[in-house]
Amino acid sequence: MKTFTLVFGAAYGMLSIIFGAFGAHALKKILSVEQLTNFETGVRYQMYSAFFLLIVGYILKFDNTSDKWISIFMILGTILFSFSIYFLSLQQYLGANLKFLGPITPLGGLMMIVSWAMLIFYFVKNEI
């Protein structure tokens, strides 16, 4: 699980740079200011998740279920949160009605919050 967490952290970081550059250059010409701002929000939170996963990948021992869920909630939450924002921002350009993804975004955000809360509990429990 440690390697899994670190690989996702590194992949999220790499993709954040790629998506950020794509947004700043290619999407700047085709998206509205609001759509581009939303896209950038997805990129920003994906990078926060990358840092989170890299840090917990080194801090946690992953010797119990709750340590594993800290990582899992952040990985899945980021996919639901950031990637739903990406698709919602691009739906007009893609010519698709992706509004069904709207409720997915806050669900992903909630999973990310739960991951942070579990990390706080870990720190308190382990007196770090």
pLDDT tens, residue order, the chain (128 aa): 999 999 999 999 999 999 999 999 999 889 999 999 999 999 999 999 999 999 999 999 999 999 999 999 999 999 999 999 999 999 998 999 999 999 999 999 999 999 999 999 999 998 76
**Residue numbers of the domain that contains 64:** 2-126
User: How far is the C-alpha of 6 from the C-alpha of 51, rounded, in Å?
Assistant: 10
What pLDDT was estimated at residue 127?
76
Question: How would you class 48 by CB atoms within 10 Å of its CB: exposed for 0-12, middle for 13-18, buried for 19 or more?
Answer: middle
DSSP string, 66-90: HHHHHHHHHHHHHHHHHHHHHHHHH
Q: Are 108 and 84 in contact (CB under 8 A)?
A: yes
Three-state secondary structure call for residue 96: coil
Residue 118: C-alpha distances to residues 34, 37, 39, 99, 102 (Å): 33, 30, 27, 31, 26
The structural domain count of the chain equals 1
Per DSSP, the three-state class of 26 is: coil
- 72-87 burial, b at 16+ Cβ within 10 Å, e below that, comes to bbbbebbbbbbbbbbb
Q: Is the pTM of this model over 0.85?
A: yes
